[in-house]
Chains A and B, each alone.
Chain A
Amino acid sequence: MDWMFFGEISLAGLAMGGLYALIALGFVIIYKATRVINFAIGEIMMFAAYLFLAFAGGMEMSAWIALPLAVLGGSILGGVIEKTMIRPMLGESPISVVMVTIGIASILVGLVEFIWTADPQLLPSFLPREPVFIGDLYLAPKIAYGFLIGAAVLIVYLLYFRFSRGGVALRATASDQAAAYSMGINVRRVFNMAWVFGSLAASLAGVLVAATGGLSPQFGIIGLSVLVVVIVGGLDSILGALIAGVFIGWLETVAGAYFGGEYRMPATFLVLAVILVIRPYGLFGTHEIERV
């Protein structure tokens, strides 16, 4: 076995996993606050990436202005989706809400094809291009810098949810909605903010992932990988999302490099199936006790 090759692949996989962790964080924030499984997260990422393409490519803005604008656009999209389509579904069965997010995903794909056509696109490159070496191992610069940006934002998020008022409100709502209400927390606002912040994390990751791998209306398929991540980690566990994100990213890349691209999905879904059978609530998720 070529350890050098394995090391480089693993490194790329771990960096990719960092981005998965960021997306999964966005997913978990939305799930924790609103109990909605968001199948549209891949499409929200895609939409933000296309916005970046429009700002940086079409309008020729500097990438460092276009990036925040695109991420802002993605977060606003998340907020609007929550206000107009998720809130009316409050109290409906989870499957109905999931189907709404699937419907939203389809609408977003259609919109993107409508505006930017179905052809694959390349994002203007904005990350430094010098190769990165960690020890002797080479890492593609786009992935490395993408990882760094993602990790930085991830840490900001974790600190924010640990210490800020908004973060406490979110965690209070997640643990007991009625109690949160009676303590004067504006739960509606928390719901909306959860979607905004969740979409923000996803949007940023969307631009970074699209910068390394290109962009097309099929980009949203990445949402399936994220789904695996959050199920393996536990739907309501931020720690689980981080660990599972890195692990699944690594596994996917290694499986793809050694067996071929068609093995990426089956490899991760195999892990998913095993986890579902032995620990249905994920590695770190809360086990819900059901009463009649």
Chain B
Amino acid sequence: MRIGDAKQTYEADEAIWTTSTQKFWFGLFLLFLLVFPFMADSYLLYLGCLVGIAVISTTGLNILTGFTGLISLGQAGFMGVGAYTVAWLSVNTGLPFPVTLLLAGFMAAAVGILVGLPSLRVKGLYLAIATLAAGVFLHFIFAEWESVTGGMGGLSLEPAHLFGWSFQSDFMMYFVIVPLAVLMVLAAANVFRTRIGRAFIAIRDRDISAEILGIDLLRYKLMSFALSSFYAGIAGGLFAYFYRVVTPESFPLSMSIFYLAAVIVGGMGNLLGGILGAAFMTLVPEALKLLTSALTPFYPNAPVFMSPMLEIIFGALIVGFLIFEPHGLAEIWHRIRRFFHLWPFRN
């Protein structure tokens, strides 16, 4: 049992890790991430990369929706901007991937600012619908601006390369995606220790009060949009390098809903929740696939029912979490932690 957790300085209160136990477990987790690719088979590696990309994008959306309270249904569109930027740059210029990724992030951030502009005038669900409209326009541009995006056929690109290395296998991509994901989540955690992050949270809690306190609403809302779309752009860029083909259908509306669902299932306004949600929502379909292939010898029809089952489970997860566990997986996690902290007493 842990007691006497009183903080005496602001620095201690603001710290990301408050106890040495936390530091220890985090170090262990990093070590696990490092050795994981050497032990895992190709399928697990593939899943690891997918989860990494999802974590980056979910963290971005969490900044916007969970921390600033601005609902966005345009996340897939922003990811698409990032992916197309990377694809176009790598086809036409051959820049190394750190440069193209960064440009993808900035490109998406610019589009995010543009989409965020109405956010001062419309809010709540109206804003959600405005971002939905942005998603529709972006999809339209991806499909129709053939000289740049390659139309419905999309663009295929070469593997990412740097210093003569070619990041062709999932094994190599893992070492791009996962460190970036860790870095970006830590960066997000740091944002919320600064004035900017505090301003985001104030806007979420009550925008009018925040404005009275001297927070320039438009500026901070746009900043939140830019930051969130930057994350989406990076995630999209990694997506492009990972699959090495980008088409308009890679980023459908359902993908935006997927990320919103990941934020909700994980826990809105909680970075840990974003990570858990992204991992959970990515792995559930894979678990179902495994279950289906295990059942196929007994029920030959099982694969036919997989896709509808997936839809039902996806919807049921959203509805179930919102009704029974509105604070998401993060809350479950905290409950488990509390149990160990307070043991042998009841919590």
What residues of chain A have their CB less than 8 Å away from a CB belonging to chain B? 37, 85, 88-89, 92, 94-96, 98-100, 102-114, 117-118, 224, 227, 231, 262, 265-266, 269-270, 272-273, 276-277, 280, 290, 292
Are the C-beta atoms of A103 and B124 separated by less than 8 Å?
A: no
Cβ-defined contact, B305 with A276, below 8 A: no
CB closest residue in chain A, given B314: A106
- 5 A-B contacts (beta carbon < 8 Å): A92-B326, A99-B264, A107-B315, A110-B309, A113-B307
Chain B residues, Cβ within 8 Å of A109: 308, 311, 315
CA distance A99 to B268 in the complex (A): 12
Contact of B40 with A by CB under 8 A: no
Is B315 touching A106 in the complex (CB atoms < 8 A)? Answer: yes
- New A-B pairs, 15, CB < 8 Å, besides A113-B308, A277-B118, A292-B206: A37-B125, A99-B261, A99-B318, A102-B260, A103-B316, A106-B318, A107-B315, A110-B311, A265-B136, A266-B136, A276-B122, A276-B130, A280-B121, A290-B208, A292-B208
The one of A99, A117, A272 in contact with B322, judged by C-beta atoms closer than 8 angstroms, is A99
* Residue interface bits B242-278, CB-to-A below 8 A is 1, else 0: 0000000000000001001100100000000000000
Give the docked Cα–Cα distance between A262 and B142 (Å). Answer: 12
Number of interface residues of B (CB under 8 A): 44
CA distance A260 to B322 in the complex (A): 40
B216-237, CB under 8 A of A: which get 1 and which 0? 0000000000000000000000
Q: Does B319 contact A (CB under 8 A)?
A: yes
B320 to A, closest residue via Cβ: A103
Are B136's CB and A89's CB within 8 A? no
Q: Is the CB of B140 within 8 A of A100?
A: no
A100/B323 contact (C-beta < 8 A), A107-B315, A114-B309, A262-B140 known: yes
Contacts of B322 in A (CB 8 A): 89, 92, 96, 99-100, 103
Q: Report the separation of the CA atoms of residues A248 and B315 in the bound assembly, to the nearest whole angstrom.
A: 29
Please provide the chain B residues from 289 to 347 with a CB less than 8 Å away from any CB of chain A in the complex. 304-305, 307-319, 322-323, 326
Residue of B nearest to A115 (CB): B308
- B182 within 8 A of partner (CB): no
Q: CA separation between A99 and B318, bound complex, in Å?
A: 7
Q: Is the CB of B310 within 8 A of A110?
A: yes
Tally of A-B residue pairs with Cβ under 8 A? 122
Most chain B CB within a 10 A radius of its CB, from A92, A265, A273, A290: A273
Bound: A98/B126 CA distance, A: 12
Residues in A with CB closer than 8 Å to B310 are 110
Bound Cα distance from A178 to B190, whole angstroms: 44
Tell me, rounded to whole Å, the shortest Cβ–Cβ distance linking A121 to chain B. Answer: 15
Q: Is the CB of A273 within 8 A of B130?
A: yes
Give Cα distance in the complex from A95 to B261, angstroms: 11
Question: Which residues of the partner chain A approach B144 to less than 8 Å between Cβ atoms?
Answer: 262
- Interface of B (DSSP majority class): helix
Most chain-B CB neighbours within 10 Å: which of A100, A103, A117, A224?
A: A103
Given known contacts A95-B124, A231-B129, A103 and B318 CB-to-CB distance under 8 angstroms: yes
Q: A85–B319 Cα gap in the complex (Å)?
A: 7
Chain B nearest Cβ from A36, distance in angstroms: 10
- The docked-state distance in angstroms from the alpha carbon of A94 to that of B323 is 13
Chain A residues with CB under 8 A of B318: 99-100, 102-103, 106
Q: Which residue of A94, A106, A269, A292 contacts B311 across the interface (Cβ within 8 Å)? A: A106
Point out the residues of chain B lying under 8 angstroms from A280, CB to CB. Answer: 121-122, 126
Which of chain A's residues have a CB closer than 8 A to the CB of B317?
Answer: 103
Alpha-carbon distance between A277 and B133 when the two chains are bound, in angstroms = 12
Cα-based distance from A265 to B144 in the complex (angstroms)? 13
> B71 contacts which chain A residues (CB < 8 A)?
95, 98
Tell whether, in the assembled complex, residue B308 and residue A111 are in contact, meaning their CB atoms are under 8 Å apart.
Answer: yes
Most A CB contacts (10 A, CB to CB) among B121, B212, B307, B322 go to B322
The contact of B305 among A37, A114, A265, by CB within 8 Å, is: A114
Instruction: Give B107-129 as 1s and 0s: 1 = Cβ < 8 Å from A's Cβ atoms.
Output: 00000000000100110111011
Partner of B137, one of A94, A102, A269: A269
Closest residue on chain A to residue B206 by CB atoms? A292
A276 touches B118 (CB 8 A): yes
Q: What is the minimal beta-carbon distance from A89 to any residue of chain B, in angstroms?
A: 7
Tell me the smallest distance from the CB of A83 to a CB of chain B, in Å.
13
A110: B residues at CB distance < 8 A:
308-315
Does B209 lie at the interface of the complex (its beta carbon under 8 Å from any beta carbon of A)?
A: yes
Residues on A with beta carbons closer than 8 Å to the beta carbon of B308 = 109-114, 118
Q: Are A113 and B137 in contact (CB under 8 A)?
A: no
Residues on A with beta carbons closer than 8 Å to the beta carbon of B261: 99, 102-103
Bound-state Cα–Cα, A267 to B212, Å? 39
The residue from A88, A100, A111 contacting B312, defined by CB atoms under 8 A apart: A111
Specify the chain A residue showing the minimal Cβ separation from B319. A103
Of all chain B residues, the one with the shortest Cβ separation from A290 is B208
Interface assignment of B143: CB less than 8 Å from any CB of chain A: yes
User: Is A102 a contact partner of B208 (Cβ separation < 8 A)?
Assistant: no
Q: How many angstroms from the CA of A105 to the CA of B144 in the assembled complex?
A: 29
Most chain A Cβ neighbours within 10 Å, of B71, B311, B326? B311
Residue of B nearest to A291 (CB): B208
- Contact assessment for A276 and B129 in the assembled complex, using a CB-CB cutoff below 8 Å: yes
